[in-house]
Structure 1
Amino acid sequence: MVLATPHTNASAPLDRGAIESYFSRQLKLRHLQLLVALADRQTVAKVASALNVTQPAVSKMLGEMEKGIGVPLFERDGRRIRPTPHGECLIRHARELLLLAQRAGDELHAMSSGTGGRVEVGVLSVAAPILIPAAVGLFKQRAPSATVCLHEGTLDQLVPALRASQLDMIVGRSARAHATPEFLSEALFDDPTVIVVARTHPLARRKRLKWGDLAGLAWIVPSAGAPMHRHLLSVLETHGVETPVNMVESVVIDANVGMLQTYPMLGLLPRSLARHHEETGALKILPLSLGAALGPVSTTWRADAQDTPAAALFRGCLSDAAKMARV
C-alpha cells in the first residue's frame, strides 16, 4: 500500500491564504483524529482498525489533507510511517484542538446535568500536603458536584501541560524563568523551605548549631537541576560547607519524611509541613535559615485562557485556604 504523495514541492513556501481556506472550509474533526491516530499507531492498518474504516479510506483522507495543505505530512520508514516536520507541527496542534473539544464537551455535559464542571490543577510538591487539601475541601463545600483533578509533578512537566491547555493552573513556587507575559500569577503565601531532621538525630538535641556542623552529613535533596537543589548548594558554599557526597534525590514528600524518621539524614520541607511534623513529634526544624530566594507559593495560569466557572472558583478557594495557612 502506498501513502498519498504530496501535490506541491515541500521546499517551496506555502500559500498561507490557501492553508487558511483549507482549514476553515475542509478540515474536520475526523482529520485531526486521523493525524493523531497515525502518529500514535504508526501503521495504516492499525489506524484503519482503530477508526473502523478501510485502509484505502485512510490513504484517501490523508491524501486530501496533503493536497489541501500542500506538503507531505507522513513518510514511510520500512513498514511503519512517521510524520514529516510539517506533520509533527500539525499533529501537535491537532492534539491540542482535540483536547479542547473534549473539555468543551465535558463542560457542556456538566452544565446541562448540574454536575458543576471540572478543573485540572497541576501541583508542585511544596503545595501538595497542606494547601491543596484545604483548597479542595473549600471547593467541594461550595461546589459539591464539580470535579477537581490533581496532577502532581515538577515545573518541567507541568509548564508544558499548562501551555498546551491540559491544565487550568499550576499551584506551587513558579520559577522566575516562567514569569513571562503568556502567564498570570497570584502570590498566595510565603512558605520558605527549612532544614529538618528526625527527633532522634544527633543535631536535633544540639542547643547551638553552626553551618559547619552539617559538613559530611547525609542529605535528602530535590532532583539535580531543581531551583531548590541549586539554592541549597549555593547556601552551603556561602557558609563554607562542601557539597554533600551522600545524597538521595527525591521530591516524594511522604517517602522523604519516612526516610528522615528511619535514617540519620537531613532533609528539606516547606515550613508549613515541617511545623505539622514537628507538632506530632516526628521531626525537628533546625535553626538555620535558607532564606526565601524561591519566592512565595503562587497560582499560575495562562494569560489568554478563558476562565471556566470551576477554574475561577478553585482559584478563589486557593486564596482563602492560603489565608488560613498563614502563620
Structure 2
Amino acid sequence: MLNLLRNLTLRQLQIFSAASQYENFARAAEDLHLTQPAVSMQIKQLEEAIGLPLFERIGRRLTLTEAGATLSHHAKRILGDIKDAEDAMRSLSSADGGTISIGLVSTARYFMPRQISRYAERYPKVDIRFSIGNRDALLRQLQDNAIDLAVMGRPPAELDAHCEPLAYNPHVIAASTTHPFVDAPRFDLHELRHDTFLMREPGSDTAAVAMEMFQHHLFTPARRLALDSHETVKQAVVAGMGVSVLPLHTLRLELLAREVSILQVNGTPIDRVWHVVHMNAKQMSPACVAFRRFLIEKTGAYLEGQFADLTSHAHAASPFAQT
C-alpha cells in the first residue's frame, strides 16, 4: 500500500477516475483518447499494487468494489485539488481561457446548454464541461471538488457553500388539452382531488415542490404515479394519463405545439428560484468567476423572455395572474 502511495501517478488517477465514473473501460478509453487494453492494464496494475480488486462484474455490468468506491472518492478530490492549483496559476493571466466544470440538475437542461453556448461564442478558448445529475449527486460532486459550480433549485443548507439566485423558476400545473378544467377560471386545488398526479421520483426538486404544495393545501390526490424523468412525465400528461406540477420552462415545446395546457389553480404559479452554487472553500479561476457572473446577469432575462413567449401560447389565462 505504501508503494502505491509513493508511486501512484497522476495519469493513473485520471484513468481510474474516468473508469469509475463511467463504470465502463471502453467509455473511459474513448474519453481519454486511449485504447481499452491500455485502460485495463492501468487498472490491473493499480489492483496489484493495492492488493484489492477495484471493480467487479455482476452479470454484464461492471461496478466498483468497496475499495474502488473509496479510492474513487479520494481520486476525485485529488484531481479537483490539482485543477484548483492549475486554475490558481492561470488566474495570474486572464479569464479568456481555461476549463470550467458545472453540474446541472435535470430540469436545468432546458436552458443551461443555451447559456453555455452563448458564453462559448464570446469566449471560444474557455472549455466549459457540464454534467447532469440529481441534487444529491451534485452535492457530492461539490464536496469532492469534482465540479466548480452547480445549478439547482433548493439552496444546499447542508453544505458550506455560497449560493446566488439566477432566475425565477415558476412551477405550474400542466394537463392535457382535453382536461375538463382547461378553460376554467381560477379554482382550488381540491377540484383536482380525483385526478392522477404524475410525479418525479422522491428526492427531485420538482417532487419536493409538489409535496410542499399538497401539504400547504392539505390536499391528497386520488392517485400518485412516480415517473423517472420530466420527459416521461410530459408525455404522460400529453396522453391524458394525469396532471403534473412542472417547472414552466420545461413545457416550452409542448405549449408551442399546443399539446398541453396550464390549469389556473389558485396558488399557482408556485414561486421558486434557480441558484448557482459553489463551495466557499473553492478557489475559482478568473474564467469560472467570469462565467458565474455571466449566468447571474443574463439567465433571468433570458428565461423571462421564454416565459412571456410561453404564456402567449397557453390555452388559458396567464399563469402569472394570481388572485
User: In which range does the TM-score fall when normalised by the shorter chain?
Assistant: 0.5 to 0.7
Give the 5 Å matches for 1:64-143. Answer: 92-98=73-79, 100-101=81-82, 116-130=97-111, 132-143=112-123
Answer yes or no: is the 8 Å Cα contact 2:142–2:149 preserved in 1. Answer: yes
Task: State the 1:83 CA deviation.
Answer: 8.9
Amino acid at match of 2:9: R
C-alpha distance in structure 2 between counterparts of 1:234 and 1:88, whole Å: 35
1:61-113 CA-partner distances (Å, limit 9, x unpaired): x5xxxxxxxxxx7569xxxxx9998x97666324421454478679989x99x
TM-score, with structure 2 as normaliser: 0.67
Residues 90 and 274 (structure 1 numbering): CA distance in 2 closer, same or farther, change over 3 Å? Answer: closer
1:146-196 CA-partner distances (Å, limit 9, x unpaired): 222221111111110111111111112134xx2256211111122121111
Residues 201 and 101 (structure 1 numbering): CA distance in 2 closer, same or farther, change over 3 Å? Answer: same
Answer yes or no: is the 8 Å Cα contact 2:160–2:279 preserved in 1. Answer: yes
C-alpha distance in structure 1 between counterparts of 2:78 and 2:288, whole Å: 19
Aligned match of 1:192 in 170, 173, 177? 170
C-alpha distance in structure 2 between counterparts of 1:94 and 1:319, whole Å: 31
* Residues 1:209 and 2:187 aligned together: yes
Task: State the 1:214 CA deviation.
Answer: 0.8
1:124-143 CA-partner distances (Å, limit 9, x unpaired): 1332213x144213311221
Aligned match of 2:41 in 50, 59, 63? 50
C-alpha distance in structure 2 between counterparts of 1:154 and 1:260, whole Å: 22
1:265-320 CA-partner distances (Å, limit 9, x unpaired): 21222234446743553322222225757x42100011111112332222122113
Amino acid at match of 1:121: I
1:208-237 CA-partner distances (Å, limit 9, x unpaired): 533222112122212124454244234335
C-alpha distance in structure 2 between counterparts of 1:172 and 1:48, whole Å: 34
SS of equivalent to 1:298: strand
Residues 47 and 116 (structure 1 numbering): CA distance in 2 closer, same or farther, change over 3 Å? Answer: closer
Alignment partner, residue 125 of structure 2? 145
Answer yes or no: is the 8 Å Cα contact 1:118–1:148 preserved in 2. Answer: yes
Alignment partner, residue 261 of structure 1? 238
* Residues 1:308 and 2:299 aligned together: no
C-alpha distance in structure 2 between counterparts of 1:320 and 1:124, whole Å: 20
C-alpha distance in structure 2 between counterparts of 1:102 and 1:192, whole Å: 36
TM-score, with structure 1 as normaliser: 0.66
Alignment partner, residue 321 of structure 1? 298
C-alpha distance in structure 2 between counterparts of 1:318 and 1:246, whole Å: 36
Aligned match of 1:156 in 133, 136, 150? 136
Answer yes or no: is the 8 Å Cα contact 2:175–2:237 preserved in 1. Answer: yes
Residues 168 and 198 (structure 1 numbering): CA distance in 2 closer, same or farther, change over 3 Å? Answer: same
Amino acid at match of 1:30: T
Identity of aligned residues (%): 19
Aligned match of 1:224 in 196, 202, 210? 202
SS of equivalent to 1:127: helix
C-alpha distance in structure 2 between counterparts of 1:198 and 1:163, whole Å: 41
Amino acid at match of 2:109: A
Task: State the 1:48 CA deviation.
Answer: 12
Alignment partner, residue 263 of structure 2? 286
SS of equivalent to 2:146: coil
Task: State the 1:27 CA deviation.
Answer: 3.4
Between Structure 1 and Structure 2, how many residues are aligned?
278
Task: State the 1:51 CA deviation.
Answer: 3.8
C-alpha distance in structure 2 between counterparts of 1:31 and 1:83, whole Å: 21
Alignment partner, residue 223 of structure 2? 245
Unaligned runs of 5+ in 2: 24-36, 54-63, 309-323
Amino acid at match of 2:101: E
Task: State the 1:28 CA deviation.
Answer: 4.9
